[in-house]
Amino acid sequence: MKDTNPFDLKVLEDQPKEYLDTDEFIKYLNNKKIIIRKDNLPRFADTHGIKMAKKTREGSGGSVPTIYKIPTKAKLDEIKKTMSLNNNNALGKENLKNKEKKILEIFDKAENKKESKSSIADKVAKVLGVPCNRKLVRRVLNEKRSSKLSKLL
């Protein structure tokens, strides 16, 4: 039999006002620029320490609805920071695109023999406030500017 309460959640009779149901919580996160798939929400909440509970369902059909406690602003900022460092989610992918644009922009403006892959990575990290390394710079430049690589130190 499939475990219907894998996170060992309490079952509450009524939904407290500081809790949101699944659809409301997804909307809330989307408004805060945190994009999560609906089917991934319980694992996301567990990973990030967001409190969850089960609500008694009305009727006999379907699964027991999960409700999620609204996280604090500090918790949301922490989640955004964590997500921005991972390229496997919407926020991380957006950061990766921004890094690639900035790498090309810096490379195109650079004078001959004045920049290295490491110096470009450092500048991108400083401007965008997210880590960037020379391997990413190498990959982007090899893909987009391979004929002009002699311009680097």
pLDDT value at position 40?
85
90 pLDDT higher than 50:
yes
Least confident of 1-10, 32-41, 102-111, 119-128: 1-10
Q: Which of 111, 87, 116, 115 is nearest to 99 (CA)?
A: 87
pLDDT value at position 112?
84
Q: How far apart are CA 4 and CA 2, in angstroms?
A: 6
Share of the chain above pLDDT 90, in %: 39
pLDDT value at position 126?
92
pTM metric for this prediction: 0.69
Q: How far apart are CA 92 and CA 128, in angstroms?
A: 12
